[in-house]
Structures are given as structure tokens and as C-alpha cells.
Amino acid sequence: MNSDLLGKLLASRKYRDICPDTVRRVWDACQRRYKRPKDAEKAAREALHGITGAFMTPREVALLADDMRAWHADQTDAGLERMLSRHASTRERLPLADTDALYGRLFEVTGRPQSMLDLACGINPLYLGARGIRTTGIDISGQAVASINAFASSYGMPVSAVCADLLCPGAIPAERFNVALLFKLLPLLERQRAGAAMDVMSAVDADFMAVSFPTRTLGGRNVGMAAQYAAWMEGHIPEGRTTVGRFETENELFYVLS
Ligand SMILES: C[S@@+](CC[C@H](N)C(=O)[O-])C[C@H]1O[C@@H](n2cnc3c(N)ncnc32)[C@H](O)[C@@H]1O
């Protein structure tokens, strides 16, 4: 019965794009928490909906594929900006000049990296690849990962991505990177499992780690999130790391740890 329900979730059109390990992880947790299979299924569906959110709608996925094909003709910054506008997180850093300025500030602290690891990357590696930065991305969204790998193979960009769940064993590469990005990720991880943010930060092997937090609601309101996340971050610096940079943009707070 329970394996039937898991099979149903794995086969569901709604969750087909999500890494199967995530579906299994969420199902296991809900099954442990709820005695009645019906309750466990309802809770699992709610949790999966919360994790995947609406970062990229099916229409945006289709438009991104068109944008990527169109980029072939001229490879302009306007075309890159169109691609980045298809995911909620990269969209919030546009216009492209603002994204360039943000990485300018980051690289003032870290130097221009030889290698980057982008955890829960969304489609951010499209930007990094277009700017010539070797990047490995990880995300549970099959569509985001496929877009990055298609970008790499169509245009020879120095990026690759893996569909994996950061809360499952083996998802974080063992190799060392210059800079690891954990953009708008830690609050999401904490919601999925208490303590997960620290576990993931501690497992990353990188000279620098850049962590960011949203400071406005999805509707654009300022409700004191910056102060709340700053207090959280300052109380959760992983052992052996020090804060070497902190800056804010209009809607995001950044910490750089060495
Ligand atoms: C708010 S978006 C941030 C995307 C990107 N870091 C950026 O700032 O442009 C969060 C991303 O985390 C991914 N995600 C959520 N939970 C995850 C997990 N357990 N493992 C890996 N990726 C996850 C989602 O699919 C989504 O793309």
C-alpha cells in the first residue's frame, strides 16, 4: 500500500520534474510522522509543493528553451537577460547590469574564481557560464538542470549541472572549489529539515562561501527580513569560517565567508 502511494507520487505529472530522491525523502518523513497513509500522502503533497514552489512555471520553461535557441543568432546581453528572467530568483537580480555589479562586489572579496559550485542553482549558471566562469550547479529541478546542460552543449559554455537533493547523501561534491554559492537557499533547507542549513554549509569544501537571503517578500514588501536573516546568519557561522564580506542589494542580503 505504502509503496503504491510512493509510486503514485513519483509518477505524478506534478512532481515528475523533481529529483526522485526528494520525493522519496519527503515521503519517508511523512510516513514516519503520520499513521494513516491518507494523511501521510496529503502532507507529502503539501511539502513537495512548498519545496518546488513556483520558481519556474511550465510556460517559463518553454520560453527559456526558445530564448536559448534565439541566443544562437547574436549571443547578446539582452538575450541573456531574457533567459535569466525565466526563473524567479535570477529575475529578481535584473537588469543584467545589477547582476554584473553584484558579482563585481563578490569578486572584489574572493578574486575572480577558477571554479564555482552553485548549490540549489536554479538557472543561475547560465549567467556564470556566459561570463566565462567554470561552474558546477546542483538543483532538484530537472528542467533547470536540463537547461544548463543544454546551454553548455549548444554553446560550449564551461558549466554543468546535476539533478540532486542536497539533503540526500552524496549530493555535495567532495572536490574543492574556489567559491561556493548558497543563494537564497538556507531558509528553504531549514524549512525542509531543521539543522539542514548548517549540515550543508559544513559539508561544502570551498575557499569562499557566498550565502544570500531574500530581503523582500515575493510581493516586494519589506517586512524586516534582512534583520531577521542577519541575526540568524551571525549566529550560524560554521566552525572554522569567518565573515569577510557583507553587503546588501535592493532585495537580497549577502555574506561572504572564508
Ligand atoms: C529560491 S531558488 C534559488 C535559485 C538560485 N540559487 C538563485 O538564487 O538564483 C531555490 C532553488 O532551490 C532548489 N532546491 C530546493 N530544495 C532543494 C534541495 N533540497 N536540494 C537541491 N536544490 C533544492 C529549488 O529547486 C530552487 O531552484
Q: Which residues of the chain have pLDDT under 70?
A: 1-2, 53
Distance 66 CA to ligand 1 centre (A): 23
Q: Which residues pair with 180 in a beta bridge?
A: 117, 209
Strand, helix or coil for residue 161: strand
Ramachandran angles phi, psi of 111, nearest 5° = 80, 165
Ligand 1 midpoint to CA 171 (Å) = 13
Question: What pLDDT, in 10s, does the model give residues 128-172?
Answer: 999 999 999 999 999 999 999 999 999 999 999 999 999 999 999
Whole-number Å distance, alpha carbon 185 to ligand 1 midpoint, is 6
Pocket lining: 125 vs ligand 1, CB cutoff 6 Å: no
Query: Cα separation of 18 and 139, whole Å?
Result: 9
Amino acid at 230: A
Contact criterion met (CB below 8 Å) for 148 and 126: yes
> Cα–Cα distance between 71 and 257 in angstroms, integer?
35
128 in contact with ligand 1, CB cutoff 6 A: no
Contact 146, 61 (CB under 8 A): no
User: What domains are defined for the chain?
Assistant: 2-52 (1.10.8.10), 58-257 (3.40.50.150)
| Burial label, 13 (beta-carbon count in 10 A; 0-12, 13-18, 19+) | exposed
Query: Shortest CA distance to 103 belongs to which of 116, 115, 112, 94?
Result: 112
* DSSP track, 66-121: HHHHHHHHH--HHHHHHHHTTSHHHHTT-SHHHHHHHHHHHHHHH-S-S-EEEET-
Residue 89: other Cβ atoms inside 10 A: 20
- Given this model, what pLDDT does residue 1 score? 53
What pTM does this model have? 0.94
Terminal Cα-to-Cα distance of the chain (whole angstroms) = 49
Measured CA to CA in angstroms, residue 120 lies from 7, 126, 144, 145, 237 at distances of 25, 13, 10, 10, 20
